[in-house]
């Protein structure tokens, strides 16, 4: 696990940090950094720590309301927000808030996987990743499999954890990471790897709607009640064998 301290510079503060990783390991490091900044994390009305399983639209509205209030101490306001899931409606609500820095306010948003964050919101943060993703070899094998083998792969992939577990090592988080790596491999195979047979390449390029399918599945995986199994099987069906 990479330490986040190398990204936190008291002389060059960013207004909003998005940190991917295990909150139990990340939060103590943030506390150490705040100590360097001489910001109290106890008995301080300007320090706010929010820990949620799912960050919803009402949470976004509350955060906006709190963020516009002036610091009681006259110093900096700090928000540490950790969430396993971040609903799309909540993210859209926060877009305007993060468009420009709020004076004397610092946000630390901690998520198990940045794939749950919309690109438009992601671009407004200083991004810190603390761990490596899924091995590319898994995705490379997947795109070469027959449909039956892909379905078997997904079945084994999902039964390693409880489907409703949204913790860091939960299957939804793992599925999102796999989609990220899969998309990377597909781009490489279609647009970079010149060894790809021209006939296969022509067919694949004519059916690139599966990139849109990956995008939609990412969104649906962030919604409560969605079926991870059905969504991942739709990926197996939509991607051509390359």
Last residue within a domain, chosen from 112, 129, 146: 129
Last residue within a domain, chosen from 84, 106, 129: 129
Q: Give the pLDDT confidence score for residue 119 in this predicted structure.
A: 80
Domain extent at residue 71: 5-129
14 shares its domain with 110: yes
Pairwise pLDDT comparison (107 vs 158), residue with the higher score: 107
15 shares its domain with 97: yes
Q: What is the mean pLDDT of residues 154-171?
A: 62
103 shares its domain with 156: no
Contacts of 95 (CB under 8 A, 6+ apart): 120, 121, 124
Q: What is the pLDDT of residues 43-68, one digit of tens each?
A: 999 999 999 988 999 999 999 999 98
99 shares its domain with 152: no
111 shares its domain with 143: no
Mean residue pLDDT of the chain comes to: 81
120 shares its domain with 230: no
114 shares its domain with 93: yes
pTM of the model: 0.60
Q: Does residue 1 have a pLDDT over 70? A: no
CB-based burial, 25-48: b 16+ in 10 Å, e otherwise: ebbebbeebbeeeebeeeebebbe
Give the total number of structural domains in the chain: 2
Q: Give the pLDDT confidence score for residue 132 in this predicted structure.
A: 53
Three-state SS string over 59-117 comes to HHHHHHHHHCCCCCCCCCEEEEEEEEEECHHHHHHHCCCCCCCCCCEEEEEEECCHHHC
163 shares its domain with 200: yes
Tell me the CA distances in angstroms from 8 to 25, 44, 127, 131, 152, one per residue in order: 15, 21, 11, 17, 43
Of 46, 35, 17, 19, the C-alpha closest to 104 is 46
Q: Give the pLDDT confidence score for residue 135 in this predicted structure.
A: 62
Q: Give the pLDDT confidence score for residue 160 in this predicted structure.
A: 60
117 shares its domain with 147: no
Residue 52: both structure tokens together = 């949620």
93 shares its domain with 110: yes
222 shares its domain with 160: yes
10 shares its domain with 39: yes
Q: What is the CATH number of the domain that holds 28?
A: 3.40.50.300
Q: What is the mean pLDDT of residues 138-144?
A: 88
Last residue within a domain, chosen from 129, 154, 175: 129
- Is residue 226 very low, low, confident or very high in pLDDT (cuts 50, 70, 90)? confident
């Amino acid at each position: 696990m990479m330490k986040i301290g190398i990204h936190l510079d008291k002389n060059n503060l960013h207004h909003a940090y998005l940190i991917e990783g295990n909150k139990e390991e990340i939060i103590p490091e943030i506390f150490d950094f705040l100590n360097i900044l001489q910001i109290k994390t106890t008995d301080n009305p300007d320090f706010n720590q929010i820990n949620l399983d799912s960050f919803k639209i009402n949470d976004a509205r509350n955060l906006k309301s709190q963020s516009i209030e002036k610091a009681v101490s006259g110093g900096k306001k700090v928000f540490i927000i950790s969430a396993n899931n971040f609903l799309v409606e909540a993210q859209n609500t926060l877009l305007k808030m993060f468009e420009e820095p709020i004076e004397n306010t610092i946000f630390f948003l901690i998520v198990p996987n940045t794939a749950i964050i919309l690109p438009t919101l992601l671009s407004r943060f200083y991004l810190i990743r603390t761990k490596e993703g899924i091995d590319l070899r898994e995705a490379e094998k997947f795109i070469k499999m027959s449909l039956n083998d892909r379905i078997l792969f997904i079945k084994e992939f999902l039964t390693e954890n409880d489907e409703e577990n949204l913790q860091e090592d939960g299957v939804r988080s793992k599925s999102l990471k796999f989609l990220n790596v899969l998309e990377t491999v597909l781009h490489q195979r279609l647009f970079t790897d010149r060894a790809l047979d021209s006939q296969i390449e022509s067919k694949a390029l004519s059916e690139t709607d599966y990139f849109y399918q990956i995008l939609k599945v990412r969104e649906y995986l962030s919604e409560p009640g969605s079926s991870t199994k059905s969504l991942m099987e739709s990926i197996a069906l939509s991607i051509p064998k390359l």
